[in-house]
Amino acid sequence: MSVGSIDLKNKPLICVVDDDEMFRDILSSILQHQGYELVVFASASLFLSSNTFSEKKFDLIVTDINMPGASGYDLCRTVRSHFSQDHIPIVMVTGNDAVNEKTIGLDAGADDFIQKPFRNDELLAKVNSLLNIRMQARQQIGRLTKFISPNIADLVIENQNPGAMKLHRAQVTVMFSDLRGFTAFSENAEPEEVLDVLNNYYTVVGNSALKYQATLGHLAGDGIMLFLNDPHPTPNHQDIGLQLALEIRQVLNEQKVNWKSRGYHIDFGLGLAEGYATMGGIGFDRFWQYSVIGPVANFASRMCHYANNGQILVSHRFLERMVNKHLFQTESIGSITLKGIEKTVKAFNVVGEAQEIIQFKAG
């Protein structure tokens, strides 16, 4: 079944919020007849305290304005505040002064309005249009994420935080990964073999990065840079960065088995650093790249370069900035000298997790 051009194989879920039971039943009947899934609430307060809201299990909201407790305006403002990276359509239903309420509602974040009494086809046309726009935005994000980091694609399409693209300071954890023996391999292998290795390498590292909401800084041959805590906040980003690095080591070790079976002598190293850096869009009017600039990126790169096969290197300072360093097993490799770094660095190899394991929860 479909409504307009909306594919309802995976039916959109609409929240109907109204304190008038008879009107809730009318709205529900119209929307259910067209194949939409519904969750109904007798007030904005009940909706905002529900698991449906906290877990964002909905695609569109139809809400009354004047209700006991929180108003429809309060609902709009709360939804926009909590889900700033995902623009969820909101239709307001009003029986009062439409001009005045539209002004307040638009300021609160509403997308469209229905004036009581209304025609069924008017309601369905507006709901269908807003869901189409949302679906198209998600498709655009899907296309963009094939070329830029998903975190940045969200910002570009949703445009919910335009300031994030401007240069700004942020505290981040930066991780570099590169392959050992890749140059020698690429000089002797066929181009198709080289591309196959790189694509598999990018895929397994990229899938892990997505799981932990890390932002892709750049891909350069066999080098990958990821960072955490920008543009989306990541609490305890140093701890999460280490857990991400451990997962990447695991999937790359699995890749090594495959590479070895094909006669490829390829290994890898990882390095992490944390600190303040300059973030944002870098480029010119026809090409922009979202990246991180500063000593923290250089330091992570140098640590990665120093790492032996399969090592994950961090500094003593990195460990001290962690909230849960006791959850990781590390071994000192002594003081090392890094290219371009004046002072020696107390470095540690991350062996693995302790018995108690961090449970990462995506925001």
Query: Domain ranges in the chain?
Result: 2-144, 166-353
Please give the pLDDT value at position 18: 94
Please give the pLDDT value at position 310: 94
| Amino acid residing at 256 | K
Cα–Cα dist 363/32, whole Å: 31
Cα–Cα dist 307/118, whole Å: 67
The fourth-level CATH superfamily of domain 2-144 is Response regulator (3.40.50.2300)
Please give the pLDDT value at position 154: 61
Q: Is the pTM of this model over 0.85?
A: no
Please give the pLDDT value at position 14: 94
2-144 matches 166-353 in fold: no
pLDDT in tens, 295-305: 999 999 999 99
Please give the pLDDT value at position 6: 42
Q: At what angle do helices 120-144 and 21-33 cross, to 10 degrees?
A: 60
Please give the pLDDT value at position 19: 93
| Amino acid residing at 23 | F
Please give the pLDDT value at position 8: 43
Spell out, as residue ranges, where the chain has pLDDT lower than 50: 1-9, 144, 160-161, 356-363
Architecture of domain 166-353: 2-Layer Sandwich (3.30)
Cα Rg of the chain, angstroms: 25
Question: DSSP string spanning 181-200?
Answer: SHHHHHHHS-HHHHHHHHHH
Question: In Å, what is the CA distance from 203 to each residue of 147, 149, 163, 196?
Answer: 13, 13, 30, 11
Strand-by-strand arrangement of the 13-17 sheet = 37-41, 13-17, 60-64, 90-94, 112-115
pLDDT in tens, 304-361: 999 999 999 999 999 999 998 888 999 999 999 998 888 899 999 999 987 544 444 4
Please give the pLDDT value at position 133: 81
Please give the pLDDT value at position 68: 92
